[in-house]
Chain A
Amino acid sequence: MISIKIEKELKGAQQNFKLSIDETINEGDFIGVFGKSGSGKTTLLRILSGLETNLKGFVKVGKAIWIDSLSKKNVSIKDRQIGFVTQESILFPNMNIREQLTFSKGKNTNKTLLEEVVTALEIDNLLAVYPEQLSGGQKQRVCLARAIIQEPKLLLLDEPFSALDYQIRKQLIQLTKKITKQYSLTVFLVSHHPSEIIDLTNKVWIIENGIIIEKGIPKEVLISHL
């Protein structure tokens, strides 16, 4: 069980607003977060990752309390074990792909998992190359593989397919679906594309000005919202 009850003041383009989320999800859920730009979707993921602080409320993942503003508890980013994939492929130019994939856990990287993931994501022939030699789709597959090899308690996907062209996007969505199911990951996907959310997630939250205005089964909610 993952409980999220948070409040954070955000600066909007027109006016300031409060991101206010009070939800509980099950481990293994794939949550779609849908909404207009600037509604607080990315901030929600950054709060869960530990990159955003200064907020009120609490976040509990299983038995572990990550955030509790009353007792001023805020578990450090490294102790949260988060997998994070963003729209821009963030790969370090000084490392080859194998080094990127083992950067998080070093010698403790689960080698079997690494082999499985690189094969599933079809990047097993790219381990010795550097990011500058990869295409956009290959880079995102490496980012996804790196996040999964971390064995994350939460996998956060912030518009990971948006910068890709149609065919590659379709392919990566299928690979993401397969691999997140295979490892029973708890995932948050921020996306502007209803089709991605319907295809991948089992629950959707529609966020507007920091508040969930609708939630439920993606197909039903998104179709009624269109």
Chain B
Amino acid sequence: MDILFQNNFVWAPLLVTFKLAIITALLLLLLGVPLAYWLAFSKSKIKIIVEVLIAMPLVLPPTVLGFYLLLVFSPNSIVGAWLNQYFGIQLAFSFTGIVISSMLYSIPFMVQPIQNAFQAIPKSYLEMAAVLGKNKIQVLKYILLPNSKRAVITALILTFAHTVGEFGVVLMVGGSIPNKTKVASIAIYENVEALQYNLAHQYAIILFVISFFILLSIYSYNSYKTVLLTSFYNK
């Protein structure tokens, strides 16, 4: 641990990173569940467009998303001016701005696993729940979510982990304001630019270890469930 306290190491970028990842994951969970429900069961013609838009962050360079968000958040844009005038909110180069950007950037990691899990639940369960007098919200609460627990937990962890690893979008929208928008990945980049490899290494090893344990937890959780199922069917 001594290595962490050498040189000019500060914890702030790591704290901003984890604060951002936790808030992003929790807010996306609230947004992602209804969105996944709509995508899983809607017959709307615009559904395919929404699905494509949600998948876009998987293929789009983060700088493209960051660039357009920066334009939208700018006080000179219609949205930015409206937010500034009526709510006094400025999203560009603010923590709130990077939370919204992270949510958009990580949205497929939350929505797609939950949508797939909802679609995998047999239609007969949903029909029987309706026959038993349950409305759509009750079906979501008592049937869909409990039977998709594994997918929801995986989506939550993946969203958290993906946000921890963000760089391009956060840099474009948030800049690199210490204690506010400077996350660990940006701190690594800046320290490398300044040839302070020792400091960069300290942030990098912490992110590496944490990411490893996050993924280990997902794999262990999934294999534990698989072992349980296998042992049941082998009885």
* B-binding residues in A (CB < 8 A): 49-51, 77-78, 81-82, 84, 86, 88, 90, 92-94, 103-105, 132, 146, 150
Contact = CB atoms under 8 A, between A and B. Distances in A.
Interface in B94-130: 122, 124-125, 127-130
A78 B124 contact: no
B135 interface: yes
Interface stretch (B17-25, B34-42, B139-147): B139-147
A94 B131 contact: no
A104 B135 CA distance: 11
Interface of B: 122, 124-125, 127-135, 142-143, 146-147, 232
A172 B127 CA distance: 24
A139 to B, nearest CB: 13
Contact of A78 (B128, B134, B143): B134
5 contacts: A77-B131, A81-B133, A104-B134, A132-B232, A150-B132
B132 A88 contact: no
Contacts of A92: 125, 128-129, 142-143, 147
Nearest to A78: B133
Nearest to A82: B131
Given A92-B125, A92-B147, A103-B142, A84 B232 contact: no
Given A78-B133, A94-B147, 16 more contacts: A50-B131, A51-B131, A77-B133, A78-B130, A84-B131, A86-B124, A88-B124, A90-B124, A92-B125, A92-B129, A92-B142, A93-B147, A94-B146, A103-B142, A104-B133, A105-B133
Contact of B127 (A51, A78, A105): A51
Most buried by A among B124, B133, B134: B133
B147 A104 contact: no
B138 to A, nearest CB: 9
Contacts of B143: 92, 94
